[in-house]
Amino acid sequence: MKSELRYIELKSGFENTGPAWIGLAEFSKSGRTVYFNGKALKNSKAKGIAGNFYDIENGDEYWISGIKKNGTDRHWAGGGKIMIDRKVVHLYLSLVDFKILDKKRFELVDILPTDKQNFAELENQELN
């Protein structure tokens, strides 16, 4: 599985102010499932109201996108701190147009890896 740095924001119940993270997301072989922070997020094929992925356990919608070079990952009408995995700060700063994290916009956190085996049975049931 390949890992890529991504911006991930919970949309369900929050519109543009939901919790948001920057961290390494793992992709399934097909690229339709993203594993991040203990969750398996499935591509909704843009059928969601606010998100482009949904949590296969509870249906919550998430917006997942690449990192914007200018650091404006949040929706223009949104707000709130973005949690960034402390293990990827150096990588993130190498991709954006600034050299330090603004503590008013970012919060350092530890994002845990996802045990993909926990979701294998659940995902296979969904295909039936």
pLDDT score, position 128: 46
pTM value? 0.89
Containing H/E element for 95? helix 89-95
Q: How many Å apart are CA 27 and CA 13, to the nearest integer? A: 25
What Cα–Cα distance (Å) separates residue 97 from each residue in 46, 56, 85, 92? 30, 35, 19, 10
Q: How many Å apart are CA 97 and CA 68, to the nearest integer? A: 9
pLDDT in tens, 76-116: 888 899 999 999 999 999 999 999 999 999 999 999 989 88
Domain-by-domain residue ranges, the chain?
2-127
